[in-house]
Structure 1
Amino acid sequence: MAYQVIDGIRIWGSPDAGALAQARTCAGTGQVVQTLLMADHHQGYSQPIGGVVVYDGQISPSGVGYDIACGNKAVRTRLYAADMKPRLAQVMDEIARTISFGIGRVNQEKADHALFDDPDWAVYSSIGKQVHDKLKTLARDQLGTVGSGNHFVDLFEEEGTGRLWAANHFGSRGFGHRTASGFLNLAADRGFLDNAPGEKLEQPPVLFDLNSELGEMYECAMRLAGRYAYAGRDYVMDQVLRILGTEADFAVHNHHNYAWREQHDGREVIVVRKGATPSAPGQLGFIGGSMGDISVIVQGKDSAENKEAFYSTVHGAGRIMSRTQAAGRMNWKTRARSGGQITRAQMMEAVQSFGVELRGAGTDESPFVYRSLRQVLDAHAETIGVLHTLKPIGVCMAGADEFDPYKD
């Protein structure tokens, strides 16, 4: 097997000390069946990113995290990258103008959706009318916005075929963030809309029994946030295809911050994946690299090791440098950063050498802060197979240093 076991935790890739300490805490809290670290693991809030915790009859709002249902949608278009490249700069300008990155919207277009008539909104009404109205209004206002942090809209050229692909990455935005913080508040006997003190990196996971009132309510709200994230990624992808003037003939769409009810070894368990992609045999997934690296479409293998991974794999290359280390500390009064290890000139040189047309982004998302995706994938060679390898040609993210409280 390609993984190692430390204190009962199954670990792919090189163990990160901070993430391993968090995984030990997770493994020792609640009704845990198994704790795992994917090869892109690093520290997160409570449960490590790239971490998977399998529970018997429990669900963890801190494990799923604040960006409920963060994930990717990737599509293969009917175009070839070579036909697009002469107008690539203009297309990337149009994507940056049309699609809302960061906080707020770049236009007044509001994306309506049948989701807003979903009966599961009643879960918020049961908490209170103010909660229901506030979260539903926020969800309406932000549907189809991308956010900031590592969230993106990218164009790719497929190796071998030259086909043009498009992909996006974001989750349930402020609606998901308020849902997570609200249930963490309720778990601590605070009001749903209270200002929460925030999670500490080392704190134990917050757990709800599935058959408890809070457990049932959270799972319902989480699933609604999941459908909302899917709707948002669909909406943004439709915008991209309109800009490109084409259609998709193949699509891959998945979450990587979520809790799934699954059958493993003949019993139902809850698999909480934070920054980890489901990889059941035959299941497709998109795994993104940095803006100076490949991304891939993968398929889960029917293998013993994939079964022992609880059908989970990486969601990206994994950070090796924090945002503050890369970009420095921000003074929000002067909007100046200091102490960063990566300059914008270094980032632009690296991105341009890889042939990428970049819009937005800060040095905290530069190629230097991530592992090599190929090395990460090698650690999971027995669990997933690569179907399509995609080289980025256009990357669009929120502008450098744009503050967004709902980023991943």
Structure 2
Amino acid sequence: MAYQTINGVRVWGNPDEGALSQAITCSNTGKVMQTLLMADHHKGYSQPIGGVVVYEGQISPSGVGYDIACGNKAVRTNLYAKDVKPGLSKIMDKIARNISFGVGRVNSKKVDHALFDDPDWSVYAAIGTQEHDKLKSLARDQLGTVGSGNHYVDIFEEAATGRIWIGNHFGSRGFGHKTASGFINLAAGRAFLANAPGEKMDQPPVLLNIDSELGDMYYRAMKLAGRYAYAGRDYVIEEVLAILGAEADMEVHNHHNYAWKETHNGIETVVVRKGATPSAPGQLGFIGGSMGDISVIVKGKDTAENREAYYSTVHGAGRIMSRTQAAGKMNWKKRTRSGGQISTAQMLEAVRNFGVELRGAGTDESPFVYRKLQQVLDAHAETIEVLHVLRPIGVCMAGADEFDPYKD
């Protein structure tokens, strides 16, 4: 097997001490069947990024995290790189103009959607009218916006065929963030809309019994946030297809911050994946690298190791440098940064050398802050098959100093 077991935690790739410590804490809290670390793991809030915790009868709002249903969508188009590259600069300009990156909606129309009539909005109505109205209004305001941080819209060239793919990465935006903080508040006896106290990165997970009233409410709210994230990614992909004048003939769409009810070893479980992609046999997944690296479409294998991974794999390359290490500390009053290890010139040179037309992005998202994707894929070679290798030729993200509390 390609993994090692450390204090009961199954670890793929090179163990990160901080993430492993968090995973062990998760293992020792609640009704846990198994805790795992994917090869792209690093520290997160309560449950590590790249961490998977398998519970019996429990669900963890802190495990799913604040960016509920963050995930990826990729579509293969009917175009080829030779059709797109001559006008790529103008295409990327148009994507940056027509799609909203960052915290607000600055350059695109509000999106109406049947989702706003979904019966699960009753969860919020049961909490209170103010809570329902505030979150629904926020959801309406942000549907179809991409956000900032590591959230992107990319144009890819498939290595083997030259076909053009479109990919994006973001979640349920402020609606999901407020949902997560609201249920974490309720679990601690605080008001849903209260300001949460300064939670520590290494605190034990917040757990709810899935069959309790609060646990069922959270599960329904999480699923609504998941449908909302799908709707947002669908909208953005359709907008980019329209910009390209293209049609899609294949799509891959998956969450990687979510909790799934699954049966493993004959036992009904709740699998909380934070920064981990589901990889059941035959299941497709889109795994993104950095802006200076490949991305891939994968398929889960029917192997003993994949079963022992609880059908989970990586969601990306995984950070090796924090945002502050890379970009420095931001003084929001002066709008200045200091102390960063990566310069803008270094980032732009690396991206240019890789052949990418870049719009936006800060040095905290530069290729230097991530592992090479192939390294983490190799660690999971017995669990997933790589079907398509994609090279980014156009990357669009929020600007370097865009403040967005919902970005990760």
TM-score bracket for the superposition, by shorter chain length = over 0.9
Conservation of the 8 A alpha-carbon contact between 1:159 and 1:389: yes
Look up the match of 1:326: 326
Unaligned stretches of 5+ in structure 2? Answer: none
Greater CA drift, 20-29 or 198-207: 198-207
Look up the match of 1:238: 238
- TM-score (ref. length: structure 2): 0.99
The alignment partner of 1:126 has SS state of helix
The alignment partner of 1:239 has SS state of helix
Deviations 1:114-173 (A, max 9, x none): 000000000000000000000000000000000000000000000110000000000000
Pairwise mapping of residues 6-405 of structure 1 onto structure 2 (< 5 A)? Answer: 6-107=6-107, 109-405=109-405
The alpha-carbon deviation at position 198 of structure 1 amounts to 3.9
The alignment partner of 1:246 has SS state of coil
Question: What's the % identity of the aligned pairs?
Answer: 79
The alignment partner of 2:35 has SS state of strand
CA distance in 1, matches of 2:40, 2:283: 20
CA distance in 2, matches of 1:75, 1:25: 38
CA distance in 2, matches of 1:152, 1:198: 29
The alignment partner of 1:190 has SS state of coil
Letter in 2 for 1:140: R
Letter in 2 for 1:13: G
Letter in 1 for 2:2: A
Q: Superposition RMSD on alpha carbons, in Å?
A: 0.6
CA distance in 2, matches of 1:271, 1:229: 19
The alignment partner of 1:358 has SS state of strand
Conservation of the 8 A alpha-carbon contact between 2:98 and 2:108: no
The alignment partner of 1:352 has SS state of helix
For these two proteins, the number of residue pairs brought into alignment is: 408
CA distance in 2, matches of 1:160, 1:236: 26
Letter in 2 for 1:277: T
CA distance in 1, matches of 2:199, 2:169: 24
Deviations 1:161-195 (A, max 9, x none): 00000000000000000000000000111100011
Conservation of the 8 A alpha-carbon contact between 2:56 and 2:270: yes
CA distance in 1, matches of 2:289, 2:406: 22
CA distance in 1, matches of 2:192, 2:120: 17
The alpha-carbon deviation at position 106 of structure 1 amounts to 2.2
CA distance in 2, matches of 1:251, 1:149: 24
The alpha-carbon deviation at position 108 of structure 1 amounts to 5.3
The alpha-carbon deviation at position 339 of structure 1 amounts to 0.2
Letter in 1 for 2:80: Y
The alignment partner of 1:105 has SS state of coil
- TM-score (ref. length: structure 1): 0.99
CA distance in 2, matches of 1:330, 1:210: 40
The alignment partner of 2:14 has SS state of coil
